[in-house]
Amino acid sequence: MLWWRPPLESNDALTASPPMNAAAQRNRLQSSTLAFLAAYVDTLGFIALFGLFTAHVTGNFILIGAALADSSQMSILLKFLAFPAFILGVAAARLFIAAIQRRQGRALGWSLLLQLVLLLGFMVCGVAAAPVQSPTAGWVMAAGLLGTASMGVHSAISRLLLAHLAPTSLMTGNVTQVVIDVVDMLRGAADAGTTERCVKFVWPVLSFGVGAIAAAFAYHAIGFAGLIAPVLILVALIVAEFRQPLPADSARG
């Protein structure tokens, strides 16, 4: 009995823990970087394109309503067209993801690549449009619609493939959940999952704020070339995703 060793199951249990921690860290990194990206693109588009929200459909409705009541404001054609562009981005992402999933492929990696292509189009058209003077100029319209479509893809990815993460493009629900959890912790009514849930939602909120600030400074410094930051983020996420091992059934397919 002095030489007894723990059974193999105990060692297996100990080694099973790190992958779970790695998965949690990967989820946190994904949600934080995607929230930064969403805020960055939305803020840069708002500053550069006469108040266009590329990722915030609700905001465009509000601006359209305000503009309709004030005839002195600039053309709102771009904001009107942004809505169908966003819808097309979501629809294209849905069909694209469904097709890849039928083939048991890397749906997240390929859909992020689709977003990257649209975002690159946004940047190229924006650079070509500079200096931006009219919301109805051809390059300006193309930039706005491609940017909005790219964020439509972003939103679809969040819903279809990353539903286990906190939302990354709309922070209202995230802030609400964080406040509820903090209040419960302060009044001693938190359960075992409260802190974990609070951390899950607070990181995207912080990253979103940083992304908005960074985009404002970047645009004023280098214009649409500032979109290189979210482009590089997407490239890094795509590379990381394609380096992940495929499940056994997908690999056989």
pLDDT at 15: 44
Low-confidence ranges of the chain (pLDDT < 50): 1-3, 5-18, 249, 251-253
pLDDT at 184: 94
Cα-based distances in Å from 199 to 28, 113, 165, 195: 9, 28, 11, 6
> In terms of Cα–Cα distance, which of 53, 157, 161, 58 is closest to 115?
157
Which are the contacts of 84, defined by CB distance < 8 A and separation ≥ 6?
A: none
pLDDT at 73: 67
The number of C-alpha atoms within 13 Å of 40 and in the hemisphere containing its C-beta is 31
b/e map of 211-234 (b: 16 or more CB within 10 Å)? bbebbbebbeeebbebbebbbebb
Whole-prediction pTM value?
0.87
H helix runs in the chain, sequence order? 8-48, 57-68, 77-102, 107-129, 138-160, 172-186, 194-222, 228-243, 248-252
pLDDT at 253: 39
Q: Which domains does the chain have, with CATH numbers?
A: 33-243 (1.20.1250)
Per DSSP, 225 falls in state G
